[in-house]
Amino acid sequence: MTTHELARSADYIVQHEYEQARVTAADGRQASLGEFYGDPAVALIDIHEQWCAVAGEGLVLCRLGQPFGQCVEYFRQPGEVRWITDLRQTGAFALEWQDEDGAWHPLDFDFGTIVTEPSRRLTKP
């Protein structure tokens, strides 16, 4: 299988093999970022290395701190899928994602609540 790099920082790398994405820490820890229909399109690693995001068919955010590998999905449920073509970080826990029509959409998040409050797990643009 061929591995493709989507993003790299000093201590982390986001890669995919076909439709399966993962993040690997410099110390060897790995976390699955899920499967993406049609392969993931883009990823980014937070400038402070607290989280990463991978997108294509929807978006997956993954915590890089403790607990490592805790992830949450956005825009991946049937009827809610968004096709994301680009990402850019806009704050410590904020990003913008670009849809297939070229429009940019904001997404602010907080790992302290999005993984414990089911109502915050899916956010519409």
Domain count of the fold of the chain: 1
| pLDDT at 123 > cutoff 50 | no
**What is the band of 119 on the pLDDT scale with cuts at 50, 70, 90?**
very low
Residue 82 lies in a domain: yes
83 in a domain, yes or no? yes
Is 125 inside any structural domain? no
Q: What is the pTM of this model?
A: 0.87
Report residue 1's pLDDT band, with 50, 70 and 90 as the boundaries.
Answer: low
In a domain, 22, yes or no: yes
Q: CB of 72 within 8 A of CB of 56?
A: no
In a domain, 52, yes or no: yes
With contact defined as beta carbons under 8 Å apart, do 63 and 51 qualify?
Answer: yes
Specify if 93 maps to a domain: yes
Does 90 fall in a domain?
Answer: yes
Residue 113: pLDDT band (50, 70, 90) is: low
Q: CATH code at 102? A: 2.120.10.30
Structural domain for 32, as ranges: 3-120
